[in-house]
Amino acid sequence: MSTITVFNQKGGVGKTITSLNLAAAMHRSNMPTLLIDMDPQTHLTNIHSAPPGDKMKSLFGFYEQYTHLARLAIDWPGIGHLIPSHRELISVETRYGRGPMVLKRLNSGINAFNQAIPVKHVILDCSPTVGVLTLGAIFAADLVLIPISSDFMALQAAKKVEKTLQALEIFLKKRVPRRYLLTRFDRRRGMTVNVKLEADVLFNEELLRTVIPLDVALAESPADNQHIYQKNSSSKGAKAYEALLDELERNELISSKNKGALIY
């Protein structure tokens, strides 16, 4: 099992879109996946066609009542499973502090989930805030995936992520594996090209070669409660997330796929 934490200290860079569609690409490759919505804004949860309204049936119940994650998981066709978020999750940031026990809790919960419901990958969709939830997600990560929309403000936010990870590594006593992913990439725009050039210098081999293009289908699919393969499986965005999965596997950043036919 691989745990991928999707994080940037800026909103609107494609964290939720990437979490959703990378999970969908994994599902198509016969790789059972669990999505966990770590963001009190509930963007990922609201894409699901029937999210629960009860806060105790969300990730909040895991922190508030130690509810087993397997009891909170809901099925998501074309994805696998979802642990939904709830706006009350924001109170976790103020109620539990940042001690080692609360930071380790999510990792322990994910391992217990995998014993009850085996999955190939877990994807954590984080808020832009550096708090208990995000720090726990980074602690649990085998890989931190940092989307950067192709503008300079997002690039500046990615630099802050790098500093955050470096500070956390003092506590963890290890380097946190990370990769930077350019999103909303449009080669026709000079700024996009310049951002890529600067990102190449800043992040070097940790910048993924795959880029996620600016794509209408990607932008519209969440409003239709769909991932990109439901919206348009032949779109540029769909092909890009397949390429992203392939690059992560090829470079042994995540567990490799099970052999089998594609699932549609």
Chunked in runs of 10, what are the mean pLDDT values of the chain (264 residues)?
94 94 96 96 94 93 95 95 96 76 90 96 95 92 94 87 88 88 89 90 95 95 95 97 97 72 38
Whether residue 88 is contained in a domain is answered as yes
Closest CA to 6 of 197, 148, 199: 148
Buried b (16+ CB within 10 A) or exposed e, 177-211: ebbbbbbbbeeeeeebeebbeebeeebeeebbebb
6: in domain: yes
Do residues 166 and 175 touch, judged by C-beta distance below 8 A?
no
- Paired tokens of 169: 């590594």
pLDDT attached to residue 189:
80
Q: What is the largest CA-CA distance in the chain?
A: 51
Residue 117 has what pLDDT?
Answer: 95
Alpha helices in the chain (DSSP H): 15-28, 43-47, 59-65, 69-72, 92-95, 100-116, 132-140, 152-172, 190-203, 216-220, 228-232, 236-250
- CATH number of residue 33's parent domain: 3.40.50.300
Check residue 103 and give its pLDDT: 83
The total number of structural domains in the chain stands at 1
Half-sphere exposure of 11 (CA within 13 A, CB side): 7
Per-residue DSSP letter, 135: H
Residue 151: the pLDDT is 85
Query: To which residue do tokens 């029937």 refer?
Result: 50
Within a domain: 20: yes
Residue 186 lies inside a defined structural domain of this protein: no
Give the N- to C-terminal CA distance of the chain in Å, as an integer.
22
Q: What pTM did the predictor assign?
A: 0.93
Per-residue model confidence (pLDDT) at position 259: 41
Domain, as residue range, for 151:
2-177
Q: Classify 121 as helix, strand or coil.
A: strand
In this prediction, residue 204 carries a pLDDT of 93
Does a structural domain hold residue 142? yes
Is 80 inside a domain boundary?
yes
